[in-house]
């Protein structure tokens, strides 16, 4: 049996549940404004462009580019003490939004700004699947 998962988890509510349900199903999806078409992140009740409340969840390609990338050596949260050094990257998704995640599968300090990445889904508990990224296969 696995140990209890003690890292931060999303505070689930009606607003963000479709995102996390999507991750469990292997789909990266974000809100697209029904009024102006803006695809937004972070998940929000209002479109930050036009303030419309109407949005639909749209599936994304899961492809993006490393916008910036850093490596944690300091342990800021005790649950990450066995993970350091680990990578955190700001991912520029092809559909426009940017999100924080981890680029995994390569040494954490080897990730470069501008590299192409693709999403993978990491089921960290039965209930929670995290979107992370790996270097994209060359076309």
Partner 1 sequence: MALASEIRSLRNRVAIVGVGASPQGTVPGSTSLSLAVTAFKRALDDAGLKKHDIDGLLTMPGTTSPERSDNYLRLGETLGIDAKFTGSMTMGGSTAGALIQQAALAIDSGMATTVACVMGDAAKSGNFRFAMAGGWSDSWGIWGMFSAAANSAISASRHMALYGTTSRQLGEVAVACRRHASLNPDAVMRKPITIEDHQKSRLVVEPFRLLDCCLISDGGACIIVTSAERAKDLKQKPVMLTGFGQACSGRTLEREDWWYVPHQKEALERAYAMAGLGPRDVDLAQLYDNFTISVILWLEHAGFCKIGEGGSFVENGRIQLGGELPVNTAGGNLSESYMEGWLHIVEGVRQMRGECGPRQVPGARVCLVTGRGMKLNTANALLLTAA
- Judged by CB under 8 A, the residue of 11, 81, 137, 139 near partner 1 is 11
Indicate the residue among 56 and 122 with the shorter CB distance to partner 1: 122
Residue 93's closest CA among 31, 5, 9, 14? 31
By CB under 8 A, the count of residues binding partner 1 is 43
DSSP 31: E
Q: Does 121 bind partner 1 (CB under 8 A)?
A: no
- Judged by CB under 8 A, the residue of 48, 51, 58, 127 near partner 1 is 48
> Strand pairing partners for 131?
121
The distance of closest approach from Cβ of residue 132 to partner 1 in the complex, given in angstroms and rounded to an integer, is: 8
Is-cis flag, bond preceding 42, omega within 30?
yes
d(CA 58, CA 122): 20
Site for partner 1 in 62-101 (CB under 8 A): 67-74, 76-77, 80, 83, 85-86, 88, 90, 97-101
Indicate the residue among 48 and 59 with the shorter CB distance to partner 1: 48
Residue 119's closest CA among 42, 30, 13? 30
d(CA 115, CA 24): 26
Q: Does 14 bind partner 1 (CB under 8 A)?
A: no
> Strand pairing partners for 122?
130
Chain residues in the site for partner 1 (CB under 8 A):
7-13, 15-16, 19, 40-43, 48, 67-74, 76-77, 80, 83, 85-86, 88, 90, 97-102, 109, 112-114, 130, 132
């Amino acid at each position: 049996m696995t140990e209890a998962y003690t890292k931060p988890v999303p505070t689930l509510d009606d607003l963000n549940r479709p995102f996390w349900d999507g991750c469990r199903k292997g789909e990266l999806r974000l809100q697209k404004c029904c009024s102006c078409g803006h695809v937004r992140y972070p998940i929000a009740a209002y479109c930050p462009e036009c303030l419309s409340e109407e949005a639909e969840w749209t599936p994304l390609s899961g492809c993006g580019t490393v916008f910036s990338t850093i490596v944690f050596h300091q342990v800021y949260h005790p649950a990450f003490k066995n993970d350091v050094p680990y990578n955190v990257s700001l991912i520029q998704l092809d559909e426009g939004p940017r999100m924080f995640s981890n680029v995994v599968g390569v040494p954490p300090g080897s990730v470069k700004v501008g590299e192409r990445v693709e999403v993978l889904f990491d089921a960290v508990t039965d209930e929670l699947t995290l979107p992370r990224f790996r270097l994209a296969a060359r076309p």
